[in-house]
Amino acid sequence: MTYQHFLFDLDDTLLDFRAAERRSFDQMIESFGAHVTGPAMFFDYQRENTRLWNDFERALITKEALKIERFRRTFAPHGLDIDPAEASVRYLECLAETVVLVDGAATLCGALSAVGEIGIITNGIEHVQTRRIEKSGLNRWIRFVATSEACGFAKPDGRFFQYAVEKFSRVSKPQTIIVGDRLDADVLGANRFGIDSCWFNPHRLASDGAAIATFEAATLAEIHRMLVPA
């Protein structure tokens, strides 16, 4: 199959979100003059953040509430007297300016843009994701960025995928593929919407069988070989 429409997840697919997240969290804490030793607080933040994003994807919480609640839940057990709303503002400011590319991202996007169109689909916060893409330099190859914030629905909801593909110059499901690191959002969404998918799985995790990827790859170089015509 020759694909011409490439949908990419952003975080932990093209951009190393884990690295950017840790740097931004540390910078935010330091901006309040607080000093935290050890990984415990960041671990707690990641746990609460993951729980809340899962709730958001099930429409159980709004994104605005999520942005603040994750810090409230993180700070309280540690007795940290920091306003979670202000922490959210400062964290997002840091995150928007912190960009770490996944190895091979620029090469892959450049090659795919020569054979088709690339769109980014993300459940992330719109102004943050837009700024990070600009700073990454990947925007020169990207036709559009579709966010759940603008759409009103989040991955894996099929309405979000429909919203995204309509931003291509033309729509052809058989020629469309999504590349993403999450089975429960990217691959499951592709299954429900009726398009192919590539599970980017650098940590070689086991599939739970709930979502079935068309392809699986551990590096972007592998995806390059699969998707770019020889």
Active site residues: 9, 11
Q: How far apart are CA 207 and CA 213, in angstroms?
A: 9
Q: How far apart are CA 99 and CA 23, in angstroms?
A: 10
CA dihedral 60, 66, 68, 74 (to 10 degrees): 90
Q: φ, ψ for residue 101 (rounded to 5)?
A: -75, 140
Type of residue numbered 228: V
Q: φ, ψ for residue 106 (rounded to 5)?
A: -65, -40
Taking phi over 0 as left and psi of -120 to 50 as alpha, with beta for the rest, 132 belongs to alpha
Which distant-in-sequence residues (6+ apart) come within 8 Å of 70 by Cβ? 45, 48, 49, 52, 88
Q: How far apart are CA 11 and CA 205, in angstroms?
A: 17
Q: How far apart are CA 14 and CA 57, in angstroms?
A: 21
Type of residue numbered 82: I
Q: How far apart are CA 220 and CA 124, in angstroms?
A: 21
